[in-house]
């Protein structure tokens, strides 16, 4: 798989759009309006955070080469013999968006996630195996949420950031780190969350969450009003 990643490179760097700022990357994540509470409620058992972190530390350099085309790489890692599935179509959409940002950090964040799945072929499956059902969501989280505040190079070089990356990957995959209950996993994920340590980005995320909550409240109120009108008619 590492050789295939190398083969996905080009003879030289391809022209790229102006790299997105950290705020712009985060906004791409926030625009997905992911429901964190729903994710917590549906977590299934996964491998330990340490096991995933170890795989992050073993990422081949070829996966982090900016010349590697992540869309083609995803086809190798997540492709199906049945052709392009709806899940793979969503993955391609996210990776096209990653490429369009021109951000090296976003591209390497996505490539790191692809490596974790590819690593089960290279190094053997983890126990339990990594889930793939929410691959597009995971790629967006790694490329836009986490890479906006922590460069993927730190996921490799710094133990805490590596643990954060592992926990972020597992959470958005819909998996609970092995050996942990929800309270423990939640506390450790919050403790590691670099986004909350960045005051400017954390404020932007909080403002977006507030707007989303107001929108949901208004939608519920309108639905109740519509139901009441229908009942009286």
Asked if 5 and 70 count as a contact pair (C-beta separation under 8 A), the reply is: no
Q: What is the pLDDT of residue 79?
A: 83
Is 76 within 8 Å of 4 (Cβ atoms)? yes
Residue 42: name the closest of 169, 167, 176 by CA.
176
Residues in the chain, pLDDT under 50: 7, 10-17
Segments in the chain forming alpha helices (H): 2-7, 22-30, 36-41, 49-57, 70-78, 86-101, 104-122, 135-140, 152-157, 159-173, 182-192, 194-197, 199-232
pTM of the entire structure?
0.82
Cα Dmax for the chain: 70
Residue 231: predicted pLDDT: 65
Q: Can you say whether the dihedral through the CA atoms of 164, 167, 170, 172 is positive or negative?
A: negative
Give strand pairing partners of 176. Answer: 45
Residues 6+ apart with CB under 8 A from 180: 49, 188
Q: Which residue has the tokens 């939608």?
A: 219
pLDDT tens digits for range 17-51: 456 688 899 999 999 999 999 999 999 999 999 99
């Amino acid at each position: 798989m590492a050789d295939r990643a190398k083969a996905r490179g080009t003879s030289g760097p391809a022209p790229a759009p102006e790299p997105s700022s950290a705020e712009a990357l985060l906004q791409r994540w926030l625009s997905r309006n992911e429901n964190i509470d729903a994710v917590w409620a549906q977590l299934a058992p996964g491998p330990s955070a340490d096991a995933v972190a170890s795989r992050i530390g073993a990422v081949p350099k070829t996966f982090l080469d900016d010349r590697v085309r992540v869309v083609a790489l995803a086809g190798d890692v997540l492709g199906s013999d049945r052709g392009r599935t709806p899940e793979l179509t969503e993955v391609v959409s996210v990776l096209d968006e990653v490429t369009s940002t021109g951000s090296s950090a976003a591209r390497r964040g996505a490539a790191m996630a692809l490596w974790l799945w590819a690593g089960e072929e290279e190094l053997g499956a983890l126990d339990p195996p990594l889930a793939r059902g929410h691959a597009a969501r995971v790629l967006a989280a790694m490329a836009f949420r986490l890479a906006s505040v922590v460069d993927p190079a730190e996921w490799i070089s710094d133990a805490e950031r590596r643990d954060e990356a592992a926990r972020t990957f597992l959470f958005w995959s819909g998996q609970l780190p092995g050996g942990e209950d929800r309270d423990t996993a939640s506390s450790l994920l919050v403790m590691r969350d670099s986004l909350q340590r960045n005051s400017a980005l954390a404020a932007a995320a909080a403002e977006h969450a507030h707007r989303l909550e107001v929108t949901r409240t208004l939608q519920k109120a309108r639905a109740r009003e519509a139901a009441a009108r229908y009942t009286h008619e």
